[in-house]
C-alpha cells in the first residue's frame, strides 16, 4: 500500500472497479430482456397472422376471433414475463452470493 493511499481510498477504488463490472452485468441482463421481448413481439405478430387471416364480415365470428387472439396474446405475454422473472431471479441470487464475497474481500485487501 502506497504511503498516500488510505484504507478508505483503497476500498473506494476497489468498489469503483466492482461497480463497473456490475454495470456490465446489468447491460447484459437488459440485452437479454430486450431480446426476449423482441421474440415476444414476433410471436404476437405471427399469432395475429394465423388467426383467420382472411377476416370475416360476421360480427359474432369477429368477436370469437378477437377473443381467441386476446387469450393467446395474454398467454404469450405471461410466458415471456415468467421467463424473464425466472432469469432475473437466478441472476440476482448469483450476484448476491458474489457481492457477499466482494464486500469481505474488498475490506480485507485494504486493511494493512
Residue 20's contacts (CB-CB under 8 Å, 6 or more residues apart) are none
Q: Per-residue pLDDT averaged across 12-26, rounded?
A: 87
Query: Which of these, 82, 62, 64, 63, lies nearest to 74 by C-alpha position?
Result: 82
Q: CA-to-CA distance for 112 and 92, rounded, in angstroms?
A: 32
Q: CA-to-CA distance for 55 and 65, rounded, in angstroms?
A: 9
pLDDT digits (tens, 9 = 90+) for 80-112: 888 888 888 888 888 888 888 888 888 888 887
Residue in the block written with cell 364480415: 57
Contact (Cβ atoms closer than 8 angstroms) between residue 51 and residue 69: yes
Question: pLDDT class for 77, splitting at 50, 70, 90?
Answer: confident
Contact (Cβ atoms closer than 8 angstroms) between residue 27 and residue 89: no
pLDDT digits (tens, 9 = 90+) for 50-69: 765 565 556 777 778 778 88
Amino acid at each position: 500500500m502506497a504511503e498516500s493511499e488510505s484504507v478508505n481510498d483503497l476500498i473506494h477504488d476497489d468498489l469503483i472497479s466492482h461497480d463497473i463490472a456490475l454495470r456490465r452485468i446489468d447491460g447484459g441482463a437488459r440485452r437479454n430482456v430486450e431480446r426476449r421481448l423482441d421474440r415476444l413481439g414476433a410471436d404476437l405478430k405471427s399469432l395475429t397472422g394465423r388467426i383467420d387471416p382472411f377476416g370475416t364480415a360476421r360480427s359474432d365470428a369477429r368477436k370469437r376471433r378477437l377473443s381467441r387472439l386476446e387469450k393467446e396474446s395474454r398467454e404469450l405475454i405471461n410466458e415471456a414475463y415468467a421467463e424473464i422473472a425466472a432469469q432475473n431471479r437466478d441472476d440476482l441470487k448469483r450476484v448476491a452470493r458474489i457481492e457477499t464475497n466482494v464486500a469481505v474481500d474488498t475490506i480485507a485487501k485494504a486493511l494493512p
